[in-house]
Amino acid sequence: MRKKIGGIIRDLCRQKGIELLEGHAMPDHIHLLLSIPPKFSVSNTVGLDEEMIKKYIHEQNESDKE
């Protein structure tokens, strides 16, 4: 199921010109770090600290495994 969802997300990103930087599928949710072109309006951005976001995603993955 994770591979199927991953493929769908990658296809959707490709269609919209969005870069998938990081992603992890969990049993009940998905963590994604995306680079979205400025032509798309995003209601709430996370700022410029991409490394912090990557670290958070990885830590959530480890936490969910426990």
Q: What is the pLDDT of residues 9-57, one digit of tens each?
A: 999 999 999 999 999 888 888 989 999 988 887 655 666 677 888 888 8
pTM of the model: 0.64
| pLDDT at site 46 | 60
The domain segmentation of the chain, as residue ranges, is 2-65
* Long-range contact pairs involving 45-51 (C-beta distance under 8 Å, separation at least 24): 50/21
What secondary structure does DSSP assign to the chain, as a single string? -HHHHHHHHHHHHHHHT-EEEEEEE-SS-EEEEEE--TTS--SS---S-HHHHHHHHHHHHHHHH-
| pLDDT at site 45 | 67
Residues paired with 25 in a beta bridge: 30
